């Protein structure tokens, strides 16, 4: 019986050389308007993230762990945006919405590693804020440049390995179709096209969810529970410091969580709304974070500039200038 079912699967499977993205629809002349909107968003994302990376790299006073993690976050947003927007712009102007199998897997690799690196980065940043607020006296010894470099390297290396294994498992499947109901390639949709056994893929996904994702979520909850405990038991100055340093990170975490929720929600919503929700996850983070942290950085730089001016004034008065 097993051999009969296997033979039937082999007969029904077809060689897939390309995938068709069925979520696109004919917009007529509006496609040029959509092209201009997406192009403007992409240019804005590039300018905002590159500007903040340059500011952090050029300003020696920002060569601290928190800003190095931010720099990694902005680099990842440039990487993820480049994995989506040029392809999206090309598809908007095209009348045939197909993509070759190798390029489709390349896009999956870029977008999935982007999401994983983003999540890891936010988790590491919550750990950094936990050390800074709960153990301020030991912070400099606990978060050395060597440790920061190691954490950033792991933040990038592990998602690349994890996604590479996932794509290898998906690429080995026999497919019985080539239609992806989305505006970009997605591993989940390709696995659903398989007519061969996907048990290994499912087990790998579950193991990843229950070990890595659950571990990072636990780390984030633990760090913020400890931060809240310090805030409630500490002075007003401690609460203000915790609020000012954690607000941007919490806002970024909430935005990322909304994006993940919208990704899960896509399967039960109309096609037009599905397109919007799928783009929210890959568009709003690279737009939202530079604005959020850019305002925070400008405030910090102004405060440091004012302190430096006050120090210079004090030195001049002391020496009778």
pLDDT in tens, 302-317: 555 545 544 445 544 5
Q: Provide the 3-class DSSP secondary structure of residue 99.
A: strand
Whether the predicted pLDDT of 283 surpasses 50: yes
Listed range (19-33, 58-72, 234-248) with the worst mean pLDDT: 234-248
Answer CATH for 16-318 from 3.30.460.80, 1.20.120.1780, 1.20.1260.10, 1.20.1070.10: 1.20.1070.10
- On the question of pLDDT at 9 being above 80, the answer is no
pLDDT of residue 115: 92
Model confidence at 156: pLDDT above 70 = yes
pLDDT of residue 6: 37
pLDDT computed for residue 317 by the predictor? 54
Q: pLDDT of 115-155, one tens digit each?
A: 999 999 999 999 998 888 888 888 888 888 899 999 999 99
Res. 102: pLDDT tops 70: yes
Confidence at residue 311, expressed as pLDDT on a 0 to 100 scale: 47
pLDDT value at 278 more than 80: no
The per-residue pLDDT for 275 is 75
pTM: 0.85
Q: What is the DSSP letter of 136?
A: T
Residue 18 · residue 190 · CB < 8 Å: no
Q: What is the pLDDT of residue 151?
A: 94
Domain boundaries, the chain: 16-318
Mean pLDDT of 84-113: 91
pLDDT at site 314: 52
7 pLDDT tier (thresholds 50, 70, 90): very low
Alpha-carbon distance 214 to 206, whole Å?
11
**Token pair belonging to 186:** 């997605």
Average pLDDT score over the chain: 82
Report the alpha-carbon angle 271-208-20, nearest 5. 30
Q: Residue 238: how many CB atoms within 10 A of its CB?
A: 15
Which pLDDT belongs to residue 306?
A: 47
Compute CA 178 distance to the chain's CA centroid, rounded to the nearest angstrom: 27
So what's the pLDDT on residue 47? 92
53's CB contacts (< 8 A; 6+ apart) are 71, 74, 75, 78
């Amino acid at each position: 019986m097993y051999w009969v079912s296997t033979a039937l699967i082999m007969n029904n499977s077809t060689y897939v050389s390309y995938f068709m993205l069925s979520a696109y629809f004919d917009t007529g002349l509006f496609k040029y308007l959509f092209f201009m909107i997406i192009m403007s968003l992409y240019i804005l994302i590039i300018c905002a993230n590159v500007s903040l990376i340059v500011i952090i790299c050029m300003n020696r006073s920002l060569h601290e762990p928190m800003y190095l993690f931010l720099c990694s976050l902005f680099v990842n947003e440039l990487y993820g945006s480049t994995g989506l927007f040029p392809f999206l712009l090309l598809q908007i102007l095209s009348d045939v919405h197909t993509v070759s199998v190798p390029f489709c897997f390349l896009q999956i690799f870029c977008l999935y590693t982007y999401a994983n690196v983003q999540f890891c980065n936010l988790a590491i940043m919550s750990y950094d804020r936990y050390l800074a607020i709960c153990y301020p006296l030991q912070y400099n010894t606990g978060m050395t440049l060597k440790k920061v470099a190691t954490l950033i390297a792991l933040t990038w290396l592990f998602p690349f390995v994890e996604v590479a294994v996932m794509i290898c498992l998906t690429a080995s499947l026999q497919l019985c179709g080539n239609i992806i109901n989305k505006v970009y390639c997605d591993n989940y949709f390709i696995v659903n096209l398989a007519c061969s056994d996907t048990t290994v893929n499912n087990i790998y996904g579950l193991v990843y969810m229950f070990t890595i994702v659950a571990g990072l979520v636990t780390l984030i909850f633990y760090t913020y529970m400890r931060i809240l405990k310090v805030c409630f038991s500490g002075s007003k100055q401690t609460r203000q410091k915790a609020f000012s340093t954690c607000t941007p990170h919490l806002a970024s975490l909430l935005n990322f969580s909304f994006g993940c929720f919208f990704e899960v929600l896509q399967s039960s919503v109309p096609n037009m709304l599905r397109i919007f929700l799928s783009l929210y996850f890959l568009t709003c983070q690279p737009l939202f974070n530079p604005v959020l942290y850019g305002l925070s950085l400008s405030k910090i730089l102004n405060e440091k500039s004012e302190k430096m001016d006050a120090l210079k004034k004090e030195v001049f008065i002391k020496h009778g200038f």
